[in-house]
Structure 1
């Protein structure tokens, strides 16, 4: 029952979000998913961490697909996302908790940065 309510809420949130808010939702889900994988890995359940790790890679691939490659920043972000997607693949194979922590730090940093960008945009200030 609770999951159904959460799913409906998320569906409405996604359907009414701006492109910037959608990106924020992707970063939030990336961090949440990587935390889940990290928790499972810490508990020695690396086999069960594979699903959230694949989900994290899928989110990075989705972020890559949204980039407008005519901008240098987009090209740089593409390289970063690609690098961290490869890191997740390594984590899946080697069960490397330290590498997963690095990916999680990257995701948290991107989430924090994107929150700040949206606040600046909403306030009408220029970057």
Structure 2
């Protein structure tokens, strides 16, 4: 029952989110999936570990295809996404935990930065409407 409620909450959250909030949700899901993969790795559950890693690669692909390539920052983000996508692939093959840790750090920083940017936009928006 709890899982069903959690899924319903997530469904509503996604359906009502702005594009910026959706991006934040993707970054947060990346972090969550990477931490699960790291836990499974530490338990030598390599087959199970691949599922959350494939999810992260799918998220990176989604983030990449939604970029507006008219902006330099989009080209920079695409390069970062490709770099960390490669790290995940290498990790799956070589099982070098330092590569996984690098992707976790990237995802955490992107989620943190994106959350701050959204908060800044909300603050600015509230000031112009008062």
TM class by shorter chain equals over 0.9
1:106: how far off? 0.5
The aligned residue for residue 85 of structure 2 is: 85
Secondary structure of the structure 2 residue equivalent to 1:51: helix
8 A Cα contact 1:33 1:52, kept in partner: yes
The aligned residue for residue 5 of structure 1 is: 5
Secondary structure of the structure 1 residue equivalent to 2:70: coil
After TM superposition, the runs of 4+ consecutive aligned structure 1 residues lying more than 3 A away are none
Any stretches of 5+ residues in structure 1 without a counterpart?
none
Secondary structure of the structure 1 residue equivalent to 2:68: coil
1:102: how far off? 0.5
Q: Which has the larger radius of gyration?
A: 2
8 A Cα contact 1:42 1:97, kept in partner: no
Q: How does 1:4-83 map to 2 (within 5 A)?
A: 4-83=4-83
1:114: how far off? 0.4
**Cα distance in 1, alignment partners of residues 60 and 79 from structure 2:** 11
Any stretches of 5+ residues in structure 2 without a counterpart?
126-130
**Cα distance in 1, alignment partners of residues 92 and 4 from structure 2:** 30
**Cα distance in 1, alignment partners of residues 95 and 3 from structure 2:** 30
1:34-63 CA-to-partner distances (Å, cap 9, x unmatched) read 000001111121221000000011011111
Secondary structure of the structure 1 residue equivalent to 2:64: helix
1:95: how far off? 1.4
